[in-house]
């Protein structure tokens, strides 16, 4: 029997995927990727993500949030409209939200204002958090730690951090999202060791398509990551966990279903 996979983070509103979305979804199903969460990165993209879900016959859900890069677009009006999206049964998590001090496309102050509003909304309404954290771990922990007992669920999307950061997130009960970064020999190989430290009931996988395509020979000519490549991430995770493959894949799928309250 074919394994089932859940891509917890794919940017299906991106033009490189959205133009041929029917084929993208068809190919994903053929590879066993039966469920996909479409990531919302600002108000406009969150609306698009919701509409794709509502008009699709596939098992799609979405998130709604303002990415830290887009935090400069945050204001009371846009956030009020964003919160209204949660009236849809398709919208299952708050985010993508968090802090990214790597390039600071929005200032740290703007990012913090936006993130705190997302955090408060998720806590007040019991929604899971879909988190983006890059080069900002210390400040992130300062903001979140006082609320750890109030957060219903959270996943550190596209985890790329070090061992201490991983343990900090796990101590707060967060889920960890692993992407094709684990196959990037330039910057992601440390995840091959850390993957064993993630409890099986805290582990999820994602493509972050069209970004972060796995760097393997079979995809050398490809430039666009797609949900259909998620089983490659699963294979790498299983290989480095040294556990029985079906057990790991089944657990990851169940974790994803439970995280988004689909069980």
Q: What pLDDT is stored for residue 263 in this prediction?
A: 87
Question: What's the helix, strand, coil split of the chain in %, to 5?
Answer: 50, 15, 35
Q: What is the pTM of this model?
A: 0.97
Structural domain harbouring 141: 5-259
pLDDT the model gives residue 115: 98
d(CA 144, CA 174): 12
Enumerate residues 6+ apart whose C-beta is below 8 A from 56: 25
Other C-beta atoms lying within 10 Å of the C-beta of residue 240: 17
pLDDT of 242: 87
- pLDDT at position 144 is 98
Tell me the β-bridge partners of 133: 99
Instruction: Quote the number of domains for the chain.
Output: 1
Contact 152, 122 (CB under 8 A): yes
Q: Where are the beta strands (DSSP E) in 68-195?
A: 91-100, 129-134, 154-156, 175-178
Sequence-ordered list of residues with C-beta below 8 angstroms from that of 171, at least 6 positions apart, any chain: none
Instruction: Report the candidate in 171, 116, 127, 118 with the shortest Cα–Cα distance to residue 153.
Output: 127
Strand partners, 100: 134
pLDDT tens for each residue of the chain, 263 residues long: 789 999 999 999 999 999 999 999 999 999 999 999 999 999 999 999 999 999 999 999 999 999 999 999 999 999 999 999 999 999 999 999 999 999 999 999 999 999 999 999 999 999 999 999 999 999 999 999 999 999 999 999 999 999 999 999 999 999 999 999 999 988 899 999 999 999 999 999 999 999 999 999 999 899 999 999 999 999 999 999 989 999 999 999 999 999 999 98
* CATH number of the domain that residue 44 is part of: 3.20.20.140
**Gyration radius from the chain CA atoms:** 17
CA distances from 242 to 188, 199, 230, 247 (A): 18, 13, 19, 11
């Amino acid at each position: 029997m074919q394994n089932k996979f859940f891509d917890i983070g794919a940017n299906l509103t991106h033009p490189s995927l959205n133009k041929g979305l029917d084929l993208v979804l068809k190919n994903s199903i053929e590879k066993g990727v039966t469920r996909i969460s479409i990531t919302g990165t600002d108000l406009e993209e969150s609306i698009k993500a919701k509409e794709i879900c509502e008009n699709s016959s596939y098992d799609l859900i979405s998130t709604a949030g303002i990415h830290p890069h887009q935090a400069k677009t945050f204001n009371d009006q846009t956030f009020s409209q964003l919160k209204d999206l949660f009236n849809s049964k398709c919208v299952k998590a708050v985010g993508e939200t968090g802090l990214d001090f790597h390039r600071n496309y929005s200032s740290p102050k703007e990012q913090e204002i936006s993130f705190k509003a997302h955090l408060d909304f998720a806590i007040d309404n019991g929604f899971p958090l879909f988190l983006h954290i890059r080069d900002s771990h210390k400040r992130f922990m300062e903001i979140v730690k006082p609320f750890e007992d109030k957060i219903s669920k959270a996943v550190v999307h596209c985890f790329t951090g070090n061992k201490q950061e991983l343990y900090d997130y796990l101590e707060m009960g967060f889920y960890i999202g692993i992407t094709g970064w684990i196959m990037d020999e330039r910057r992601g190989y440390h995840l091959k060791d850390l993957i064993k430290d993630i409890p099986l009931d805290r582990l999820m996988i994602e493509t972050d398509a069209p970004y972060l395509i796995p760097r393997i020979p079979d995809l050398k000519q490809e430039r666009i990551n797609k949900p259909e490549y998620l089983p490659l991430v699963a294979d790498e995770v299983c290989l480095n966990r040294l556990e029985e493959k079906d057990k790991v894949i089944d657990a990851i799928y169940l974790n994803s279903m439970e995280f988004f309250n689909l069980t």
